[in-house]
Structure 1
């Protein structure tokens, strides 16, 4: 299924450039019609069953004259303009993929259960990072793992579900959308979630796909376990990614364990300190009790990574079957970017099964 897109602009050269760019990158997702005259565009909307009309702001389009299925937006020349005549504004002078994502976002808001995305073959692997220990750098390890796979040419999505966490601490990219749009799509149940996720995702120059933090941290508190599970499932089945790295709050309640069951591998992080080791051991023992009747217990999927490990005072966890796959020292006086640069190439991530 393709989105039927009509573009209306008096500048034929601009239309030629944008249509060419879209046809190169999104031929399988867009069916494009271009017009330089308002009358011609309006006459084509109904017979061509246009889904989205994007018109230059030099034209005045009566929204009441549009077919019910057709959504309207305006091309503008400044990125500072948010709307024209109460309709969404799209800056025409930006990368084609950013324009596409805005068009996709507009379409997703009325598409309901229809989907322009094909489900994948479920070959995507979900790796969940979490830890019963605080302050050991579980999120940093998750981000480094995402960079590790992306550097090997794998399409990798990093999802940060910590209440006060932020993907923007590790990754950066252009784009105006963030997790707030995803959360709204989940809550409203009127927006096509798969399309909304595709329209909001960003790609760091190093290759990792991610969602920027929500505008207000309280938005993340609105996400329930079922909704987190649905987001992971949508990403896994979209066919867009080979790896989904889920950075999760630690929990052993039924809802938290249900989220973990979507993961092919679970990574806990510790720092080798006495307190950290004690927490890891107790958490593992508790989980083993909870999972003793499970056909494939979660304990079998857990791998342990040591982070900020001290060769002088650090020790390994004992008394459990917790599998260690390696670790990393503390990088003194290093920035987050510098730490990630050191961690991402490590082969320990290849040992995650």
Structure 2
């Protein structure tokens, strides 16, 4: 599916550069029409259905002139402006990739029918990282797994579902959209979710795709377990991912258990301390009872990774019903990014889906 994009600007040089870049990088995704006169745009809109119109504020375009099904945004010269004349604003002077993602966002807000979105074949595998222990470094372990698998050539998405998640401490990339925009899209159900997600996706230098941390932590509380399921399913069919690595808080409530049971693999993280081991065994006992009382499968899908393991204070559990696939020591005085880099080199990440 190609989006038809009309660009109206009296700066011919800018039009030529942007159109040339779009035709070079997004020829399979965009069909670009450029104009310097409003009258020609309006005439074209009468004959050709456009999906998005980008124009400078020098031109006044009325809603009725958009023919009802065309999204619109104003070009601005300054970054950080969100809207102009009640329409989205897009900074002209930024990378073409960022402008492209904002075009997708504008279109997705206009289009509510998801049925004609392209599927990229088999759905991505879902690997959920969680821990009943707390403080074991589950998020860092999940991020390291995402980096490790991306370096193996897999298309990986990292999704942090913690209320106080700090994804931006793990990965960095340009782009204005955050998890807050994703949540709004999921909650409203008024946009083409797949396109909206694509507009919000960032890519780290390690090759991991992700959403930036929400603007406000309270936004995460707005997500129901049904919303989470919708989000994961849409990520699975977006951009042809091989894996979706989910960092999800551990809980025994019915909906969270249901989410865990739908994962292809569950990785529990433990540091081997006495308290962590006790919490882990209580969780396994509870999961056993839940499985006996319902038609779900969690334990057989689970494995365990020891993290922050100390020869002085950590002990490996014996006779547990899950495989221990590896472990990592406690790294002293290391930054978060250094931790992820060190952990991503561990061989046990290669065996998670085996």
1:51 matched to 2:51? The reply is yes
For residues 114 and 303 of structure 2, the distance between their equivalents in structure 1, rounded to whole angstroms, comes to 39
The whole-number CA distance in structure 2 between the counterparts of 1:255 and 1:115 is 26
Are 1:137 and 2:174 an aligned pair? no
The alignment partner of 2:72 has SS state of strand
Counterparts of residues 110-149 of structure 1 (less than 5 Å): 110-114=110-114, 117-149=117-149
Deviation (angstroms), 1:138: 0.4
What is residue 213 of structure 1 aligned with on the other side? 213
Residue 102 of structure 1: aligned partner: 102
Give how far 1:206 is off.
1.5
1:242: Cα distance to partner?
A: 1.0
Displacement of 1:27 in angstroms is: 2.0
* Aligned position for 1:40: 40
Name 1:86's counterpart in structure 2: 86
After TM superposition, which residue ranges in structure 1, 4 or more long, deviate above 6 angstroms? Answer: 293-296
Measured on the aligned residues, the alpha-carbon RMSD in Å equals 1.6
- TM-score, structure 2 as length reference: 0.95
Alignment of 1:24-35 (within 5 A): 24-35=24-35
Question: SS in structure 1 opposite 2:292?
Answer: coil
Contact 2:70–2:110 (8 Å) recurs in 1: no
1:307 Cα deviation from its structure 2 partner: 0.5
Alpha-carbon distance in structure 2 between the residues aligned to 1:295 and 1:114: 31
Aligned mates of 1:11, 1:169 — CA distance in 2: 39
Q: Is the 8 A contact 1:233 1:262 kept in 2?
A: no
Could you say which residue in structure 1 is the equivalent of 2:258? 258
**After superposition, what is the alpha-carbon deviation per residue over 1:265-291, rounded to whole angstroms, capped at 9, x for unaligned?**
100000011111111112112212211
Q: Secondary structure at the match of 1:54?
A: strand
Unaligned runs of 5+ in 1: none
Taking the aligned partners of 1:227 and 1:291, their CA distance within structure 2 comes to: 24
| Pairwise CA distance, 1:117 | 3.7
Residue 158 of structure 2 aligns with which residue?
158
In 2, Cα distance between the equivalents of 1:278 and 1:170?
29
Q: What residue number does 2:181 align with?
A: 181
Could you tell me which residue of structure 2 aligns to residue 285 of structure 1?
A: 285
Secondary structure, aligned partner of 1:291: helix
Match of 1:333 in 2: 333
Shift of 1:94: 0.9
- What TM-score do you get using the length of structure 1 for normalisation? 0.95
For structure 2, the residue ranges without an aligned partner over 5 or more in a row are none
Give aligned pairs, total. Answer: 353
Counterpart secondary structure, 1:331: coil
Q: CA contact under 8 A between 1:115 and 1:192: conserved in structure 2?
A: no
The equivalent of 1:75 in structure 2 is 75
Higher mean C-alpha displacement, 319-328 vs 10-19: 10-19
Distance between the aligned counterparts of 2:310 and 2:252, measured in 1? 29
Q: CA deviation at 1:294?
A: 6.3
Contact preservation (8 Å) 1:124, 1:239: no
Q: Helix, strand or coil for the counterpart of 1:307?
A: strand
Deviation at 1:10, TM superposition (A): 1.6
Report which stretch shifted further, 117-126 or 1-10.
Answer: 117-126
Task: Classify the secondary structure of the residue corresponding to 1:180.
Answer: helix
SS at match of 2:187: helix
